Amino acid sequence: MVQHRLTGATAFGSLLAVLLLGACGNADDTDTSAGSIAEPSLAAHPGLWSYRSTRAHSETAAPVRLRIPSIDVDTGLETLGRAPDQSIEVPRQPSSAGWWAGGPRPGQVGPAVILGHVDSKTGPAVFFRLGELDVGDEVLVDRADGTTARFLVTTLERYHKAEFPSELVYYPTVEPELRLVTCGGPFDPSTGHYRDNLVAFAAQA
Amino acid sequence: MFTPGTGGSAAKAVDRGLRRSCCPRSFVRRRPIRGPFVGSRAAAVGVAACIGAAVFPGCSSQWTADQDEHASQLTAESTAVHDHRSGAAAVKAVDAVDLRAKLEQLLGQHAILTVRLTRARLRGDGDLAQIADAALGENTADLGELIGTVYGGEAAEKFEQLWFGHVTYLFDYSRGVADNDEAVQSQARRQLDDYTTDLSQFLEAATKRAAPASVVAAELRMHVDQLLQQVDAYARGDYDRAFVLERESYEHMFPLGKALAAGIVTGGGGGLPADFDSPARQLQSRLGLLLGEHAELAVDAMRSGISNSPDFPAAGAALDGNTREITAMIESVFGAASAGSFQALWADHIDAFVTYTQAVVADDAALENAATERLKGFNANFAAFLSTSTQGRLGAPALADAFVMHEDLLLRQINAYAERDYSTAYQLSFEAYQHMFALAAQAATAIGDSAAAQSPTGGPQTGAGGMAATKGW
């Protein structure tokens, strides 16, 4: 089917040519090819001969600090990998957050993921007030090269841990995005864990 | 710098012909739209959000806008749409995902073809203008066919008349710029203003206000402004700006296509499926957008090189911008090291296309052979890279075959272009564009699945004391 796509166009063009010839009565006037293709001249436009496709890829710097002014968070960032059970590692220190190094870096296209504890056995932790975030709140991530990625909160959701939405959190996105993850919901003293996870979604400002 | 008016009598003759071609005509319904069409786009834009909201209470349209004489005429046409739709089964159910993908691809193609039509006129290149015009006629008919599948032939015909009208006015504007004729430019702008009102009202009526006229008109104005500005930039020799606007105009078509698809489906009483804008669908759309753009910008650059056009450096820069965006997507999934490898390979194949173009210009068989040999090397290396990166989800042999097709289409189109067989060149560049969307669909699925397989599982244990339980989060 594709092959005949411009068949009609060609016929139409021929019709146009006939119409134009009839209208102008001068073959020179209808020599529309004139000027369309220049005679080859290697020196005329050196851009063609010097062009080389871009190979310079600038890597986004690693995140080093997280700041969320509306809930008074200002903390360094640990680097998180994957635990033996395939779950994500959690920050070692309750007072600091951690960045999932297997995913995009904040400010890079894709969903960067930062985890923080909501509390510890001894008191509140870095994301104790994460649930107070409102849509539009600013989240800043400082990077090792001195630059800062700025995000705005878009939604705040709570999920049962057994139904954690891995696709929403980790699946590739087409713009730079950020997820902030901590615990929430009922606490089970027998296991020492919360039932749910709280996830703040943010988009680059 | 381009000098307005260099088109001379040949271009003026073409103007007369194009004005005839662009006038309302009998639109003939032809074959079904070609497949495959896959893809969508992630970026949630205002129009999409508002149209989505309009489906529900609380987002009313601005239908109380001034109703001048022109609008009144349009209202009559819109009423015809209503009348048509009020008939039994007048609005046919459509696959929302498929409709979105088709609209995105066709609207993107429309933007590129319109840019080429106006530039051909600025350069006084009558042959090119005629073929670009014919290709736009085909593109318009394809869009109309989509409208017709939902609203019927009468509505499709009205849509095509309105749509092709704006192509005509954009061409007229480029003619006015080329000829330094301010009256023609002003008239074209007025006609384009009317067009944005007319088409937005038409679509609002067709979608039962699921696509509010005020929102659609704003998007159409943006589309028109981008294309007018690129004409101005190209005419004054600011080719960098012209290519930036070409890219912006092309990319703008994708969220517009998504929004229109949502409005058409919901306005017809249907609901949007869960995967209409899922992360996987967004990835497919974005990759389709970028790969389709790659093919079109490669065509731009190669043709510019053949023509010894002064816009070649800008075309090359635009191609580089596209390469950086594709690389960024690769980096987000596979990391910086893989992104670096990807970009080096990708750059090799672009350079090979440019080398081939140089060979055609210089009529240098040895250089041509070097270019094709370089592409063969790329095919094997790039197929192995992508297959490994996706853990075998993309098979290397199938990938290599796809790359061979990509290269064959681009090389044959530039051969045809060099021989001034513009009809064939346009046919082949269209196929190259279309091919990219099929490839993007397969690649996006494999890339998404690979990313999902690499992701951690389960919800993290990020609390231990129980203090937060009292907060009710």
Of all residues in chain A, the one with the smallest CA distance to B28 is A8
- Give the separation between CA B444 and CA A190, rounded to whole angstroms: 44
B8 in the Ramachandran plot: left (φ > 0), alpha (ψ -120 to 50) or beta?
Answer: left
Query: Is B58 near chain A, with CB under 8 Å?
Result: no
Q: Which residue has the higher pLDDT, A53 or B63?
A: A53
Average pLDDT, chain A: 82
**pLDDT score for A174:** 95
Do the Cβ atoms of B143 and B110 come closer than 8 Å? yes
- Are both B296 and B272 inside the same structural domain? no
- Are both B343 and B262 inside the same structural domain? no
- Are both B272 and B386 inside the same structural domain? no
- Are both B216 and B151 inside the same structural domain? yes
Contact yes or no for A12 and B134 at CB 8 A: yes
**Confidence class for position B128, pLDDT limits 50, 70, 90:** confident
**pLDDT score for B90:** 57
Please list every residue in chain A whose beta carbon sits closer than 8 Å to the beta carbon of residue B458: 85-87, 161, 164, 166
**pLDDT score for A45:** 63
Average pLDDT over residues B139-154: 94
- Are both B210 and B70 inside the same structural domain? yes
**Confidence class for position B109, pLDDT limits 50, 70, 90:** very high
Model pLDDT for residues B408-421, shown as the tens digit of each residue: 999 999 999 999 99
Please list every residue in chain B whose beta carbon sits closer than 8 Å to the beta carbon of residue A185: 469, 473
On whether residue B283 sits in a domain, the answer given is no
Residue A21 has pLDDT above 50, yes or no: no
Contact yes or no for A48 and B123 at CB 8 A: no
Of all residues in chain B, the one with the smallest CA distance to A18 is B17
Strands A97-100 and A73-80: parallel
Model pLDDT for residues B23-76, shown as the tens digit of each residue: 333 322 233 223 222 222 222 233 333 333 332 222 222 222 332 333 333 333
**pLDDT score for A31:** 34
Contact yes or no for A193 and B340 at CB 8 A: no
Residue A35 has pLDDT above 70, yes or no: no
Contact yes or no for B323 and A53 at CB 8 A: yes
**pLDDT score for B188:** 98
Task: Determine which of A67-81, A163-177, B45-59, B366-380 has the lowest per-residue pLDDT on average.
Answer: B45-59
- Are both B209 and B298 inside the same structural domain? no
Contacts of B30 (CB under 8 A, 6+ apart): B141, B145
Q: Could you tell me the two tokens for A49? A: 């001969």
**pLDDT score for A71:** 98
**pLDDT score for B15:** 63
Of all residues in chain B, the one with the smallest CA distance to A119 is B463
In sequence order, the β-bridge partners of residue A100 are A80
From chain B residues 230-269, the ones with a CB under 8 A of any chain A CB are: none
- Are both B79 and B35 inside the same structural domain? yes
- Are both B47 and B177 inside the same structural domain? yes
On whether residue B467 sits in a domain, the answer given is no
- Are both B64 and B212 inside the same structural domain? yes
- Are both B203 and B296 inside the same structural domain? no
On whether residue B206 sits in a domain, the answer given is yes
**pLDDT score for A199:** 98
Contact yes or no for A12 and B332 at CB 8 A: no
Answer with the one of B241, B276, B311 that is the final residue of a domain. B276
From chain A residues 98-137, the ones with a CB under 8 A of any chain B CB are: 100, 102-104, 108-110, 115-125, 127-128, 130-131
Average pLDDT, chain B: 83
Residue B431 has pLDDT above 70, yes or no: yes
Do the Cβ atoms of B313 and B239 come closer than 8 Å? yes
Model pLDDT for residues A121-173, shown as the tens digit of each residue: 999 999 999 999 999 999 999 999 999 999 999 999 999 999 999 989 999 99
Average pLDDT over residues A175-179: 97
Average pLDDT over residues B195-222: 96
CA distances from A6 to A3, B55, B136, B148 (A): 8, 39, 10, 21
Average pLDDT over residues A190-205: 96
Task: Determine which of B40-49, B110-119, B372-381 has the lowest per-residue pLDDT on average.
Answer: B40-49
Q: How far B181 CA sits from the closest chain A CA (Å)?
A: 20
Closest Cβ opposite residue A121 in set B301, B339, B465: B465
- Are both B352 and B439 inside the same structural domain? yes
Please list every residue in chain B whose beta carbon sits closer than 8 Å to the beta carbon of residue A178: none
**pLDDT score for B22:** 41
Model pLDDT for residues B88-103, shown as the tens digit of each residue: 335 677 899 999 999 9
On whether residue B351 sits in a domain, the answer given is yes
Q: Which of B125, B311, B329, B462 to mutate against chain A (most A CBs within 10 Å)? A: B462
Q: Which residue has the higher pLDDT, B271 or B114?
A: B114
Structural domains in chain A?
Answer: 63-204 (2.40.260.10)
**pLDDT score for B465:** 83
Closest Cβ opposite residue B471 in set A2, A131, A170: A131
- Count of structural domains within chain B: 2
Contact yes or no for B134 and A40 at CB 8 A: no
Closest Cβ opposite residue B460 in set A10, A174, A181: A181
Closest Cβ opposite residue B343 in set A40, A48, A55: A55
Contacts of B65 (CB under 8 A, 6+ apart): B71, B197, B213, B214
- Give the separation between CA A132 and CA A189, rounded to whole angstroms: 24
**Confidence class for position A12, pLDDT limits 50, 70, 90:** very low
**pLDDT score for A32:** 35
CA distances from B133 to A20, A184, B436, B467 (A): 15, 60, 23, 69
Alpha carbons within 13 angstroms on the beta-carbon side of residue A21 total 8
Contact yes or no for A109 and B329 at CB 8 A: yes
Model pLDDT for residues B162-197, shown as the tens digit of each residue: 999 999 999 999 999 999 999 999 999 999 999 999
Average pLDDT over residues B332-347: 93
From chain B residues 181-200, the ones with a CB under 8 A of any chain A CB are: none
**Confidence class for position A98, pLDDT limits 50, 70, 90:** very high
On whether residue B406 sits in a domain, the answer given is yes
Contacts A–B by Cβ distance under 8 A: 312
On whether residue B281 sits in a domain, the answer given is no
Residue length of chain A: 205
In sequence order, the β-bridge partners of residue A182 are A198
Please list every residue in chain B whose beta carbon sits closer than 8 Å to the beta carbon of residue A164: 457-459
Q: How far B68 CA sits from the closest chain A CA (Å)?
A: 36
Domain enclosing residue B415, as ranges: 292-449
On whether residue B296 sits in a domain, the answer given is yes
Instruction: Tell me which residue of B144, B149, B184, B114 sits closest to B25, measured CA to CA.
Output: B144
Please list every residue in chain A whose beta carbon sits closer than 8 Å to the beta carbon of residue B43: 174-175
- Are both B232 and B333 inside the same structural domain? no
Contacts of A178 (CB under 8 A, 6+ apart): A106, A111, A112, A113, A114, A139, A141, A149, A151, A201, A202, A203, A204
**pLDDT score for A188:** 93
On whether residue B13 sits in a domain, the answer given is yes
Residue B19 has pLDDT above 80, yes or no: no
- Give the separation between CA B453 and CA A82, rounded to whole angstroms: 12
